[in-house]
Each structure stands twice: as C-alpha cells, then as structure tokens.
Amino acid sequence: MRNRTSPGTILTVLLFIVAGAVVLGNSVLPQYFPGLAGRAAPEAPATPTPTPAPSPSSPPATTQTPAGPTPLVSEESTIIKVVERVRPAVVNIDTVAQVQTVFGVFPQQGAGSGVIVSPNGYILTNNHVVENAQQIKVTLLSGKSYAGKIVGTDRFSDLAVIKVDAPESLPAAQLGQASSLRVGQMAVAIGNPFGLGHTVTVGVVSALNRSIQVPGLVIENLIQTDAAINPGNSGGALADSAGAVIGINTAIVQQAQGIGFAIPIDTARAIMDQLISRGHVTRPFVGIVWGGDVDANIARQYNLPVDRGIIVREVEANGPAARAGIRPGDIVISVDGSPVNNWNDFIRQLFTKRPGQRVRIGIVRDGSRRTVDVTLGERSQ
C-alpha cells in the first residue's frame, strides 16, 4: 500500500527548506564565499533585533569618530595673530664683505634680519649686520629677493637703515612704543637665525634699561628678553601681543640661556628718522652717566622727594652738564618743561634737540628743585 503525503505535510517541508536556505545565505555561506556578503538579502518584516552583550573574551566594539581640529587656547591665538601681522615685514639679509687677512683679501658671508618700516622699501636693521658689506641681498617672506643699499649707519646704537627698490608696495611693520613696556609682558621674536629663514620664538620682557659691553662700546637702555635670539636674529623684530614692533633684536649673552637684548623701538625710530633724512646721526651730548630710574618704590626705599626721574651717577669732566653745574646724585625730572619719567623719556627728548641748542633741565638736589641751562654738545662719531 503506497504511503500518501498530505498537502499540509508538503507545505511544512517547503517552509523548512526556505528557512534553511535563508540561514545558509545570510550566515553560513558568506564565511566561505565573501563575495556573497554584499548581496541584498530578501526583505523581511521590520522587527527590532536586540544587540547581544559582548562576551568577556571578546574585545568591545569601538566606533571611530573623525577627529576635528583641536581648539586653540587664547595664548596660542594671540601668538598666531602676532606672527601673521609681523612676519611679512621681517626680511632675511645676506651680505658679502671683503675681509683683509694675512693671506690676502677674501670674501666673507654673513646673515641677519631686518624690519620693513615703509612700503617704499626702507628697512631697519643692526649696524653689525651690514657693516663693511659690499653686497646686500634682501629676501622677503614671499621668497622674492632684491639688492639692498645702505642709507646710513650708527655704530653707537648698532642701528642701520638699508633700502631696496621693489616694483611693488612692501608690507611695513607697525612700530609701537617701548616707553610703556612692563616686565613680564609677552615678547615675540621673529628673525633669520643661522640662515634658516623666518623663525618665531616666544618669551617675555625680562628686564628694561639694560646695558651691555661690546668691543669699544657700551650700548645702553636695552630690553632684555628670554625669547630665544640666536646668530642671524640680529636686526629682526621683537613684537608685543598686539603685533607692534617694540624692539630690534641685537645681542645675546653667549654663555647664558634665555638672555637676549633688543634696542627699544623709541630709540630706533629716532635714529632711523635721522639716518633716512640725513644719512648719519647728529647726536646731542649732555655728559651725564645714567644711574637708574626713580619710581615710587625707589622713592620710598631711599626717602626721595620725587617718585619719577633719572639719577645722575657721574658727570663727565668739562662736559655740557658739568659746565651747567649738574652734579652726581642729582635727579633729572624735566627737559624744557616736559617731564622725564625714565631714561627712555630723557633720550627721546634729547633727540628732538640739536647740538649747540640750549635746553632747560629740571633737577632735584638735596630735596629742593632747581633749573639749569645746558648748552648741548655733539657726540663725536
């Protein structure tokens, strides 16, 4: 007797086969045939599928999220703005000088930096960068190079002005004020150390009114900074947090770390204006040696009658100040009625005068105020 299969049994077997095929197509076969994994599976009812918890032996699944830019802190943003503002005005200066040796005359190459001070090509730098140079090449941040020529130099301040004739208007730096500087404020040095090109270092104003001894000369009234200054930085910019140039980098202490010096921009501007207009500096001469600035703390400590001015440490014999009766220990408080708060003020006011001109200098001596007339001399070059 033949067994007959009922229609219900056949339907059940067919459903089982279809279910098995789905399992093979979606789970088993792709393990051995990766090409099948990307094929579309039959549509199924949208039933939520719970996600199984990872077993202790399985590493947890991670989601890779693309990392965005790290937000800048306020100090970084400030430095970047200073660099973007000042760096286009800082140039590399390469020189060739003919040096006499016991074996003959040989070319000597040098490298330094400079600051563009006017769109028509005037550049402020150090005297020692271009001294005795027969060839000067100026390279801008853009990479363009031009021949430079010396407009004027001043060895007493270690400053010089050179000029390039460029067909385009050049990016000039904004010159700030050094008289309002405070110890501890940010200082950004930009220059060409070791010929590497435009380099940025950051520090603070470490001290003011420093003096340094160089061969045959004492350079006074300098800004001290711990922003790294290396050979080649000479003539470059020292800028404040607003992007204004406050000094011209000039020297370092070789055996120290973090001790560099810059010429205050107030002094540099006065020298630069004379070099551009006359080609040399006519420097008025008073004949006093600075002994320090007077402020409120100094006044309290030494019981002084004034809280501003400069102390006269020495008076040069037979100089203009000595002939006018100024003595060591006097405190200079004014020039022609304008107050003198510090040495910067005194130098800046003197540079508005001419040799041979008579000025009225206010002093304090033994607690009393008096005025003396000083006929300015001319400092020998």
Active-site annotation holder among 113, 154, 157, 158: 158
Question: Residue 136's CB: how many other CB atoms inside 10 A?
Answer: 25
Query: pLDDT-derived band of residue 1, with 50, 70 and 90 as boundaries?
Result: very low
Can you give the residue range of the structural domain that contains 371?
284-378
11 pLDDT higher than 50: no
Number of domains in the chain: 2
Among 281, 311, 336, where does a domain finish?
281
Question: 371: domain CATH number?
Answer: 2.30.42.10
**Residues 180, 222 within the same domain:** yes
Tell me if 87 is assigned to some domain: yes
Tell me if 266 is assigned to some domain: yes
**Residues 238, 254 within the same domain:** yes
**Residues 245, 260 within the same domain:** yes
DSSP tag of 232: T
Active-site annotation holder among 154, 234, 266, 293: 234
Concatenated DSSP letters of 269-283? HHHHHHHHHHSS---
Q: Which long-range contacts (CB under 8 A, 24 or more apart) does 307-312 make?
A: 308/333, 308/339, 308/340, 308/341, 308/342, 309/333, 309/340, 309/341, 309/364, 310/340, 310/342, 310/343, 310/346, 312/288, 312/363
Digit-coded pLDDT (tens) for 71-96? 766 888 999 999 999 999 999 999 99
pLDDT of residue 324: 95
Query: pLDDT-derived band of residue 14, with 50, 70 and 90 as boundaries?
Result: very low
**Residues 163, 297 within the same domain:** no
Q: Which residues contact 181 (CB under 8 A, 6 or more apart)?
A: 205, 208, 223, 240, 246, 264
Q: Name which of 208, 361, 370 is nearest 288 in CA terms.
A: 361
**Residues 235, 114 within the same domain:** yes
Pairing of strands 237-239, 217-225: unpaired
Active-site annotation holder among 128, 198, 240, 293: 128
**Separation CA 364–CA 31 (nearest Å):** 99
**Contact at 8 Å (CB) between 249 and 187?**
no
Digit-coded pLDDT (tens) for 243-252? 999 999 998 8
Residue type, 84: E
Model pTM above 0.85: no
The question of whether 198 is a catalytic residue gets the answer: no
Query: pLDDT-derived band of residue 42, with 50, 70 and 90 as boundaries?
Result: very low
- Average of per-residue pLDDT across 161-182: 93
The question of whether 226 is a catalytic residue gets the answer: no
Among 281, 313, 329, where does a domain finish?
281
**Contact at 8 Å (CB) between 82 and 188?**
yes
- Average of per-residue pLDDT across 271-294: 90
**Separation CA 226–CA 258 (nearest Å):** 4
**Residues 158, 202 within the same domain:** yes
Among 266, 281, 296, where does a domain finish?
281
The question of whether 128 is a catalytic residue gets the answer: yes
39 pLDDT higher than 50: no
Q: Which residues contact 10 (CB under 8 A, 6 or more apart)?
A: none
**Residues 97, 166 within the same domain:** yes
